[in-house]
Amino acid sequence: MMAGPLFAELLESVHEGGAIIRGEREPSRTFAMSEAPTRRAFVLGNGPSLNKVPLERLKPEVTFAVNRIHLIYPRTSWRPTFWVSADRSQYGRQGDDIEFHVLQGYPCYIRKDMFKDVRFYDPEWGENPLPDTVNLFDHCGHIQVDRNPSTGWHLPLFCSMAGSVSVAMQLAFQMGYDPVYLVGCDGRYSPNKVNHFDADYVNYDMYSEERVKMTLANLAAGHKHARDAFAKAGRSLFNATEGSAITAHPTVDLMEVL
């Protein structure tokens, strides 16, 4: 059950997002689309298959990483080009995670309502101005497939219904990257089992059968939206995740791509 203050914040952000989509208010910030495709990019999910990825070989590439990717940092000198946080989590360490990534110095894209979890957050900023590398975006108000679902991307306002990887794909799309490759996007969740590259990623007791079912439904919708947007724009989106259960995109062998 979501705590009262957290639910109130989420409800407020949903109302704000709905007003933006209906054109009743302007978003606090939008991210313009690149006029022409540039180089390729890689969007990293945090599935168990990421343990098999030679991250050092991604160092010359443009990479988008999400959420608790820092748990893999002790094992590699690779760092992402961009970091995205769009999942309102209940694991209790989100503010610490956001603060950690902001202090790394690479560009961070963070859902605005979640930035309030950060200890150094100041609504007026005062003597603590927002770092230039921090980019806050509005919550669009779409929650999940059975509660105010989205029927597709609505750029330039990011759709956060399907989570951080979905927003990372939208960001790569907006920036003009083509082709885009998915890595570590396993698309597999099981109740009360480790579903990420690190056993300490979350408390896996939270993953009930009902939550797993909804997570998979949201993922499927998010990847369908991504497939449709890339196809409509004549761009390429590939799944380079070994053994992925995601079927929305054509698959490629990451080792052949690298």
Instruction: Tell me the per-residue pLDDT of 206-219, one tens digit each, with 9 for 90 and over.
Output: 777 888 888 888 88
- Unique residue bearing structure tokens 């991504």: 226
Phi, psi of 98 (to 5 degrees): -60, -45
Cβ 150 vs Cβ 225: under 8 Å: yes
pLDDT of residue 112: 83
Q: Sheet harboring 62-66: ordered strands across?
A: 134-137, 108-111, 82-85, 62-66, 41-44, 180-183, 237-239
For position 11, what pLDDT does the model report? 44
Compare 245 and 214 and report the one with higher pLDDT: 245
Q: What is the pTM of this model?
A: 0.84
Whole-number Å distance between alpha carbons of 211 and 146: 12
Of 190 and 43, more confident: 43
Residue 13 scores a pLDDT above 60: no
**3-state DSSP assignment of residue 109:** strand
Mean pLDDT of 102-126: 74
Give CA–CA dist 87/47, Å, rounded.
15
Q: Which helix (H) or strand (E) holds 18?
A: helix 4-21
Q: Quick one: pLDDT at residue 21? A: 42
Residues 113, 111: Cα–Cα separation, whole Å: 6
> What is the percentage of the chain residues whose pLDDT exceeds 90?
46
126-150 confidence digits (pLDDT tens): 455 677 888 888 878 787 766 677 8
Fold of the domain built from segment(s) 4-23+37-257:
sialyltransferase cstii, chain A (3.90.1480)
Residues 53, 79 contacting (CB under 8 angstroms): no
The Cα–Cα gap between 137 and 160 comes to 10
Q: Residue 65 is inside which H or E element, if any? A: strand 62-66
- Give 108's DSSP letter: E
At residue 62, the 3 state secondary structure works out as strand
Give residue 29's identity as a one-letter amino acid code. R
Q: What is the pLDDT of residue 74?
A: 96
Domain residue extents for the chain:
4-23+37-257
Structure tokens at 220: 């499927």
What is the token pair recorded at 72?
Answer: 């893999």
Q: How far apart are CA 160 and CA 246, in angstroms?
A: 19
Given this model, what pLDDT does residue 44 score?
Answer: 98
186-66-223 Cα angle (round to 5): 45
